[in-house]
Structure 1
Amino acid sequence: MSDHVKFRISGYAASRAFFLKALEPLGVAVVSDDPATYGLELRPEGKVSLRLYQTGQTPARLHLVFTAESRQQVEAFYRAALAAGGKDNGAPGLRHHHANHYAACITGPDGNNIEVVCHNEA
Structure 2
Amino acid sequence: MDTQHLHRGRLIDHLQLVVRDLPASKRFYTAVFDVLGIPLGGEADDYFWADELFVSTPGSEAALGELTGRHHLAFQARDEAMVQAFYEAALAAGGTDNGAPGERPYHPGYYGAFVLDPDGNNIEAVYHGPARRSAESVEVTF
Fold in common (TM above 0.5): yes
Q: Deviations over 1:76-99 (max 9, x none)?
A: 000000110111000000001011
Matched, 1:65 2:93: no
| Structure 2: 5+ residue stretches without partners | 1-9, 59-64, 132-142
Which protein has greater RCO, CA pairs closer than 8 Å, 6+ apart? 1
Task: Say if 2:24 and 2:94, in contact at 8 Å, map to a contact too.
Answer: no
Matched, 1:11 2:11: no
Task: Say if 1:89 and 1:106, in contact at 8 Å, map to a contact too.
Answer: yes
Identity fraction in percent: 39
**1:40 alignment partner, SS class:** strand
Higher strand share: 1
Q: Distance in 2 between matches of 1:98 and 1:18?
A: 28
Please report the RMSD computed on the Cα atoms of aligned residues, expressed in angstroms: 1.5
Q: Distance in 1 between matches of 2:17 and 2:93?
A: 20
Q: Distance in 2 between matches of 1:120 and 1:3?
A: 26
> What residue identity is the alignment partner of 1:11?
D
| Structure 1: 5+ residue stretches without partners | 44-48
Q: Distance in 2 between matches of 1:3 and 1:27?
A: 20
Residue 41 of structure 1: aligned partner: 49
| Structure with the greater alpha carbon radius of gyration | 2
Shift of 1:28: 1.2
Residue 50 of structure 1: aligned partner: 53
| TM norm structure 1 | 0.87
Q: Deviations over 1:41-73 (max 9, x none)?
A: 112xxxxx2110101534310011111111111
Count of residue pairs the alignment pairs up: 115
Q: Distance in 1 between matches of 2:50 and 2:19?
A: 14
| TM norm structure 2 | 0.76
**1:28 alignment partner, SS class:** coil
